[in-house]
Chain A
Amino acid sequence: MKAKQERITVLLEKYWQAETTVEEEKELAEYFRGPGVPPEWESYRELFSFFEEKAQIKPSPELEGRIMESIRPRHHMVWWAAAAAIVLMLGLEPLFRHAPERVHVEQPGLVMTDTYDDPEQALAAVQKALFTVSKKMNKGLHPIK
C-alpha cells in the first residue's frame, strides 16, 4: 500500500508537469477510481473521475457533418469573391480602355479648352512661350551677361 502511494506520488508529480504517458494517466485514473484512496487525496479522486467521465463522451455522428457544413460556406465565399472581382473588372474595363483620354483631356473641374484649332498656330504659341521662358531663365542663370 505504501509502495503504491509512493508510486502514485511520483506519477502525480509527473502528471502536473504534463510528462505522464497515456498508460501512466490510465494508471492514475484507475487508482483514484479504486478503493483505498487516502483522505488527503479525496479531491484528486473527484478530479480524475471527472476526466474519466468526460472521456466517455463521444462526438455525435452528426458532428463531422456540422463541421463540414460550417466550412463549406467559405468555398462559396471564394467563388463569390472571384465572381465579384470579374464583375468589377468588367465594370472598370472601359475606364482602363479610355484611360489616356481621361488622363489628358477630361481633367476634373476644368476641361482644357484649346485656344487654337490649328496645330500650326498652336505650335507657334508653344514656340513663343518656350522662347519667353528660356529667355527669362537665362536672365536668372546668367545675370552678368
Chain B
Amino acid sequence: MSTSIRKLSVLAGLLVMTTGAFSQDDAIGKFFGKYIDDSRFTMVSVSPKMFRLLSKVSWDTIPAELKQTVTMLRSLRILSTETTPRQFYKEALSRIDMKEYEELITVRDKQDNVRFVIKEAGGIVQELLMIAVDESGFTLMSFTGEIDLDKLARLSSSLDIKGMEGLQHAKRKPK
C-alpha cells in the first residue's frame, strides 16, 4: 500500500514537473527577472494571450510572410535601458546560461554590439534572444514560439521594400 502510494506520488510529481517545464520563462524572465520592475528599465511585453488576440486584427495590410512569422510566435518581451548600457550588456552575457542557449550571430562594429542566441529543441528554435548595445542603450529582446530563422532574416528586405513603396506613395500624394 505504501509503495503504491509512493509510486503514485512520484507519478504526480513527474506530471507537475512536466507542466512546470512547459511554463518556463523566456530568457528575460530567467536571467533578468529582477530588472523587470526596475525603474531604470523599460519593459514591453506581448503575452501569449495577446498573441492569440492578434488573430482578430485585420491582416489585410500585412505581408503574408510577416503574418506567417507572427502567427508562429508565442510571446515577445523587450527589456531596455539607457542607464549604463555597456555594463548591462556585459552582465547579460555573463548571466545567460550558454548550456541552454546557443550562439547564433554576433555583430560587432563601431556603432553596436549585437548577439543573437537561440534555444533549440527537436530542431525547432523555441526562443530567439537578441542582446544588443549601442550608444543609446542596452536592449534584450526575446521572442518565444516557433521561430523560422530564414523567414525572419528575409523579413527585413521585404519590409524594407514595402516601407520604401509606402514612402514613395506618401511623397506622391501631396503633389
Task: Say if A and B assemble together.
Answer: yes
Taking the closest CB of chain B, its distance from the CB of A80, in whole angstroms, is 5
A127 to B19, CA, bound (A): 30
On whether the beta carbons of A119 and B153 are closer than 8 Å, the reply is no
Chain A residue, CB-CB nearest to B33? A110
Cβ A119 vs Cβ B50 within 8 A: yes
- What residues on B are CB-neighbors of A99 within 8 Å? 19, 22
- B159 is an interface residue with CB less than 8 A from chain A: yes
Q: Is B45 an interface residue (CB 8 A)?
A: yes
Contact with B along A119-145 (1 / 0, CB 8 A): 110110111011111111111110100
**Smallest distance from the beta carbon of B116 to chain A beta carbons, Å?**
6
Q: Measured between alpha carbons, how far is A129 from B19 in the docked complex, in Å?
A: 29
Interface size on A, residues (CB 8 A): 45
> How many interface contacts (CB-CB < 8 Å) are there between A and B?
151
Closest chain-B Cβ to A2's Cβ sits at a distance in Å of: 63
B54 and A126 form a contact (CB under 8 A): yes
How many angstroms between the C-alpha atoms of A119 and B20 in the bound complex? 28
CB-based contact B143/A131 at 8 Å: no
Interface residue SS majority, chain A: helix
Q: A80-B4, A112-B77 are in contact. Are A139 and B114 (CB under 8 A)?
A: yes
Task: Flag whether A103 is at the interface (Cβ < 8 A).
Answer: yes
Residues of B within 8 A of A (CB): 1, 4-5, 8, 12, 15-16, 19-20, 22-25, 29, 33, 36, 43-51, 53-54, 56-57, 62, 66, 69-70, 73-78, 105-107, 109, 114, 116, 128, 130, 132, 141, 143, 149, 152-157, 159
In the bound complex, what is the Cα–Cα distance between A104 and B48 (angstroms)? 6
Residue of A nearest to B56 (CB): A119
Contact pick for A126, options B8, B19, B70, B130, CB 8 Å: B70
A137 touches B141 (CB 8 A): no
